[in-house]
């Protein structure tokens, strides 16, 4: 199996080009390849496939083999791979908001391209900033957040799950829940470094309130336009970054009147720029995508 290792601010995956090869039983391969001692080592496996609905299709599998609906850092890397490895014919990007956000992150790029990616939450549009034919930053139109508890899903009553009490391990927390195509719960706290994430993360992920489990985020507000985040990802554990989670924090911060709609999010692996646009209700995310190395997996 030919593979490529890539990451978005430390959220690393093994990518397989399925335009020219087939991966049977990807759930098993995800567990094997993600192992950081006996495998390649990653937060999961992402397949890049042909699509009848978009330029390419992405399927992502967590390190435990479960399939996820969406990965924000992963989809940026899919766009970079598809563009640089000539899987698709990218187009000049002409969407003003995507261009504005890209240029705010990287103002010396003169080539801006656009592709579409089919994901578990639908077809997304991505804008790419290139320097010397290499994709440096990607802006993703993540679409509208889902806020109805039944759509997230989370088993609470009401039209939104904002500031809902959650008692766990003798701690009384307030949670805000958002779906970005996959479920997220956000807790705002004074200092994310004091959170025992390794212990409390799996307890919340598997709490009875979340019928499909959930991604868990603790966020510290530094300023109205700046947050610090630590994440426990559903199916993967502690990760250096979660793109959909950062988007969920942006939405949750606005709903809870703790942040502005436009944020810089500091994650252990790096920074993301986020904007929950009040004009179209879409969340936009800008961040880097990095290709590390390629190889052939020959072990049985």
71 annotated active-site: yes
Catalytic residue among 71, 77, 83, 177: 71
Reading the block at residue 270, the tokens are 């790096």
Q: HEC string of 50-92?
A: CCCCCCEEEEEEECCCCEECCCHHHHHHHHHHHHHCCCCCCEE
- The two beta strands, 164-168 and 171-179, are antiparallel
Cα–Cα distances (Å) from 220 to 80, 96, 133, 258, in that order, read 31, 31, 37, 10
Cα–Cα distances (Å) from 83 to 17, 116, 117, 272, in that order, read 12, 11, 12, 21
247 annotated active-site: no
β-sheet bridge partners, residue 227: 221, 265
Closest by CA to 116, choosing from 136, 137, 89, 135, is 89
- Cα–Cα dist 123/48, whole Å: 14
Count CB-CB contacts under 10 A for residue 271: 17
What number of residues does the chain have?
A: 300
Catalytic residue among 77, 242, 247, 250: 242
C-alpha dihedral (130, 18, 290, 88), degrees to nearest 10? 0
- Catalytic residue IDs: 71, 242
């Amino acid at each position: 199996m030919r593979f490529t290792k890539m990451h978005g601010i430390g959220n690393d995956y093994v990518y397989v080009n399925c335009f020219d090869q087939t991966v049977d039983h990807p759930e098993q391969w995800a567990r094997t390849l993600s192992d950081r001692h006996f495998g390649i080592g990653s937060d999961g496996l992402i397949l890049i496939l042909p699509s009848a609905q978009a330029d390419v299709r992405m399927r992502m599998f967590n390190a435990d083999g479960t399939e996820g609906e969406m990965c924000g850092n992963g989809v940026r890397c899919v766009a970079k791979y598809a563009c640089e490895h000539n899987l698709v014919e990218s187009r000049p990007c002409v969407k003003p908001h995507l261009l504005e956000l890209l240029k705010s992150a990287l103002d010396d790029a003169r080539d801006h391209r656009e592709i579409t990616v089919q994901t578990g939450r639908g077809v997304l549009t991505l804008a790419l900033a290139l320097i010397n034919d290499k994709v440096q930053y990607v802006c993703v139109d993540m679409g509208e957040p889902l806020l109805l508890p039944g759509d997230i899903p989370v088993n609470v009553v009401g039209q939104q799950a904002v500031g809902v009490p959650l008692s766990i391990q003798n701690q009384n927390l307030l949670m805000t829940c958002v779906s970005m195509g996959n479920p997220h719960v956000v807790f705002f706290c004074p200092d994310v470094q004091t959170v025992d994430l390794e212990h409390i993360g799996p307890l919340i992920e598997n709490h009875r309130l979340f019928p499909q489990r959930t991604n868990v985020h603790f966020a510290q507000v530094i300023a109205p336009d700046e947050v610090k985040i630590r994440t426990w990802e559903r199916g993967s554990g502690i990760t250096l970054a979660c793109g959909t989670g950062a988007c969920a924090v942006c939405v949750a911060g606005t709903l809870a009147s703790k942040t502005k709609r436009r944020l810089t999010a500091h994650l252990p692996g790096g920074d993301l720029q986020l904007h929950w646009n009040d004009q179209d209700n879409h969340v936009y995310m800008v961040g880097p995508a990095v290709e590390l190395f390629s190889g052939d997996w020959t072990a049985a």
